[in-house]
Chains A and B, each alone.
Chain A
Amino acid sequence: MAGLELLSDQGYRVDGRRAGELRKIQARMGVFAQADGSAYIEQGNTKALAVVYGPHEIRGSRARALPDRALVNCQYSSATFSTGERKRRPHGDRKSCEMGLQLRQTFEAAILTQLHPRSQIDIYVLQADGGTYAACVNAATLAVLDAGIPMRDFVCACSAGFVDGTALADLSHVEEAAGGPQLALALLPASGQIALLEMDARLHEDHLERVLEAAAQAARDVHTLLDRVVRQHVREASILLGD
C-alpha cells in the first residue's frame, strides 16, 4: 500500500519520534479566574482546555440528585476550527456526547464523590486538534486538582497503536487516520488501576498485552509530567501567598 510509512526501518515515526516516545507536553493550571478550577494542556499540536465548576447545587432537575454521592457532569465541546475541515456543530453531536460520557465514566472512578453528596461537578473540555481523549483527560485531571476536588489519584491517559509488530505510544492525527488499531487508556498511576480502556479496529489478542503495556508506560510518563506541573503551580501559589 502506497502512502506514508508509519514506522521506518530505523524505527522512526512520521514526526521523527521513536516508538515509545511521547509528544512534547506543556501544561498550565489556573487559566481562568472565574472558574473553580481550570487547566490547559498542549500535547504536540493537540490543545485542550478544561474548566471545572463545583461542587455546587444540582442545576436543573432536583430529582437527579444522588443522596450519597455527587453527580459528575462532563461536557465535551470541540471548537469548529479545531479540525482540518471546519466542523459545523461544536457540541451536541454524537461524538461529543460519547466523549462526554467516557470522560464522566473516567472521572467517576477517580473523584471521591462520597464526600460531596447532592452536588454537581461540571467538566468542560474544549479541544483544538487531533489526539483527543488523552489530552482531554489530562487537562481535566489538572483542572479538577486546581478546583481542589478530592481525587483518589491522578488520572493519566494516553493512546497507543500497533504497526509492524511494534507498539506505538501517543498517536498523532496522521497515525490515527491511517486506520490501524488504536487503544485509549486512562490509568490511576499509583495503584496501576485502569479507569477506562477503549480499543478500535482489529488487533490480535497476542499483541494486546504489548500495546497495553506501551500505553500504561506512556501514561506513567504523563503522570511524572503532570505531577511536576502541579508542584510548580503550588510552589508559585505559596510564593504569592508569602509562605
Chain B
Amino acid sequence: MASVTLSEAEKVYIVHGVQEDLRVDGRGCEDYRCVEVETDVVSNTSGSARVKLGHTDILVGVKAEMGTPKLEKPNEGYLEFFVDCATPEFEGRGGDDLGTEIANTLYRIFNNKSSVDLKTLCISPREHCWVLYVDVLLLECGGNLFDAISIAVKAALFNTRIPRVRVLEDEEGSKDIELSDDPYDCIRLSVENVPCIVTLCKIGYRHVVDATLQEEACSLASLLVSVTSKGVVTCMRKVGKGSLDPESIFEMMETGKRVGKVLHASLQSVVHKEESLGPKRQKVGFLG
C-alpha cells in the first residue's frame, strides 16, 4: 500500500483516540467515510462504476466478451479480474504486486457458487460462454482500498448489461450466434449475493473500519472479511506484519458482518435510486 510517514507522537495520538472510540476526523470506530458511487461512467463498456471513498478513487469497467467455457465447468461462464495501479507511488512495475494481490483477493471472494450465477453467462455448453473482464483502475490511494474496490465491483456488475444472443442451429449442425437487433435487449446479472469486503484494522486494543492512510500506518494487523448482504462470510484473510489474538479475530468478524450488512443495504438503495432515474439522468463522472 502507499505509505505515509508519521511521527511517533502522531501515532500515539491516533491510538489513544481510537481507544476512546474517537478517530482523528471525528468518526466512531465503525463509521465509514462519505462514499460516492456512480455507475455507467465509461460509455464503451458493458458496465462501469466509480467509487470515491474519502481520498480513495476507484474506477471499474466490465467488458463482456465471448469465449469458451473452462473444461471443468462447461455450463458456466466466468469472471476475470485485473487491477491496475495508476498512482505514481507505484511508478513503472511497482504497482504490479499490489495489483496482483488485490486481483487474487477478488478471485477468492468470487470463488463460490452463490456469489454470481455463472450459469446465466453460458450460451451453449462446452462451446460458447460470456467472459466478464472486470478491470479495476486505482486512481488515487487514500486508504482502505479493498473495501472501495469491492463496492465498485458490485456496483459495476449491477450496471452490466450483456447483450442477449441466440444460438441458431442449421441442418448440418453448425451453430451460428445471432445478436439481438435491439441494443437495449440485454441480460442483467443478479448481484444479490455479491459480497463486499470489510477491512478491520487493529489499532491498539480496538479495531476500526475504513482506516485512512494514517490509521493504516498505526495498525499492525488487519482482517479482511468478505460479507454478503445477508451477513454470510465468504472469505476471510489476515494481512499485515503483526499477529492477532483468536478472540480479536472473532470480535472483528462479528463487527465485519454487522457493518457489512449496513453497507450492502445502503449500496443497494443508492444503485437502485440511480437506476430509477432512468437513461435521462445527468451523468457527473469526474466533472462534478
Interface size on B, residues (CB 8 A): 30
A90 interface contact, C-beta 8 A: yes
Closest A residue to B48 by beta carbon equals: A81
Q: What does DSSP make chain A's interface, helix, strand, loop or mixed? A: loop
Contact among B42, B44, B55, B84 with A90 in the assembled complex (CB-CB below 8 Å):
B84
A31 interface contact, C-beta 8 A: yes
B48 touches A75 (CB 8 A): no
Given A33-B55, A34-B140, also A122-B88 (CB < 8 A)? yes
Chain B hits for A129, CB < 8 A? 43-44
B137 interface contact, C-beta 8 A: yes
Contact among B43, B48, B137 with A126 in the assembled complex (CB-CB below 8 Å):
B137
List residues 134-177 of chain B with CB under 8 A from any CB of chain A: 135, 137, 139-142
B59 interface contact, C-beta 8 A: yes
Produce 1/0 per residue, B78-102, CB < 8 A to A.
0000101011100111000000000
B133 touches A80 (CB 8 A): yes
Closest A residue to B96 by beta carbon equals: A92
A51 touches B88 (CB 8 A): yes
A75 to B86, CA, bound (A): 10
In the complex, the number of residue pairs spanning A and B with C-beta atoms less than 8 Å apart equals 83
A91 to B141, CA, bound (A): 19
A128 to B55, CA, bound (A): 22
B135 touches A80 (CB 8 A): yes
Chain A hits for B87, CB < 8 A? 51, 124
Produce 1/0 per residue, A31-49, CB < 8 A to B.
1111100001010010101
CB distance from A32 to the nearest CB of B (A): 5
B261 interface contact, C-beta 8 A: no
CB distance from B287 to the nearest CB of A (A): 5
Interface size on A, residues (CB 8 A): 33
CB distance from A124 to the nearest CB of B (A): 6
B135 touches A81 (CB 8 A): yes
Closest B residue to A40 by beta carbon equals: B286
B139 touches A126 (CB 8 A): yes
A86 touches B63 (CB 8 A): yes
Closest A residue to B93 by beta carbon equals: A92
A86 to B131, CA, bound (A): 12
A81 touches B139 (CB 8 A): no
A242 interface contact, C-beta 8 A: no
Of all A-B residue pairs in the complex, the 3 with the closest CB atoms, nearest first, are: A81-B61, A40-B286, A80-B135
Enumerate chain A interface residues (CB-CB to B < 8 A). 26, 28, 31-35, 40, 42, 45, 47, 49, 51, 53, 59-60, 75, 77, 79-84, 86, 90-92, 122, 124, 126, 128-129
Instruction: List 18 additional A-B contacts (Cβ < 8 Å) besides A32-B55, A40-B285, A92-B92.
Output: A28-B286, A32-B140, A34-B141, A51-B87, A59-B91, A60-B91, A79-B137, A80-B61, A81-B61, A81-B133, A81-B135, A84-B44, A86-B65, A86-B133, A90-B137, A126-B86, A129-B43, A129-B44
Could you show 21 A-B contacts with beta carbons less than 8 Å apart? Answer: A32-B140, A34-B55, A35-B140, A40-B286, A42-B285, A45-B44, A49-B286, A75-B91, A77-B84, A79-B42, A79-B61, A80-B84, A81-B44, A81-B133, A86-B63, A86-B135, A122-B88, A124-B88, A126-B86, A126-B139, A129-B43
